[in-house]
Amino acid sequence: MLWPTSRNLRGARSYVPGERVYGLLRKVVPLLLRGSLGVTFVWFGALKLAGEPTLPASLIAAITPFVDPGLSVPLVGTFEIALGAGLLIGRAMPVFLGAAAFHLSGTFLVLLLRPDVAFVEDNPLLLSVEGEYVVKNLVLLAAIASLALHSFGTPPTKRLRLAEGRGLDRETPTEDAA
* Residue among 110, 106, 85, 108 at smallest CA distance from 95: 85
Task: Please provide the distance, in angstroms rounded to a whole number, between the alpha carbons at the two ends of the chain.
Answer: 27
SS3 12: coil
pLDDT category of residue 9 using cuts at 50, 70 and 90? low
Q: Does a structural domain hold residue 12?
A: no
Q: Phi-psi bin for 18: left (phi > 0), alpha (psi -120 to 50), beta?
A: alpha
Helix (H, G, I), strand (E, B) or coil at 58: helix
* Banded pLDDT at 8 (limits 50, 70, 90): low
Q: Considering the entire predicted model, what is its pTM?
A: 0.72
- Examine residue 120 and state whether it is found in any structural domain, yes or no: yes
Within a domain: residue 162?
yes
162: pLDDT confidence band, cut at 50, 70 and 90? very low
Res. 140 pLDDT band, cuts 50 70 90: very high
Q: Is residue 125 part of a domain?
A: yes
**Is 1 among the domain residues?**
no
**132 inside domain:** yes
Instruction: Give the pLDDT confidence of 117-139 residue by residue, as tens digits.
Output: 999 998 989 999 999 999 999 99
Residue 52 lies in a domain: yes
Domain that holds residue 150: 17-167
Amino acid letter, 50: A
As a whole-number percent, the residues of the chain with pLDDT over 90 amount to 52
Q: Of 21, 24, 22, 30, give the one whose Cα is nearest residue 150.
A: 30
DSSP alpha helix (H) spans, 6-155: 17-49, 55-63, 69-89, 93-106, 109-113, 115-118, 129-135, 137-151
Instruction: State the total domains in the chain.
Output: 1
Q: Is the residue at 95 inside a domain?
A: yes
Q: Looking at the predicted structure, is the pLDDT value of residue 142 above 60?
A: yes
Q: What is the pLDDT of residue 154?
A: 54
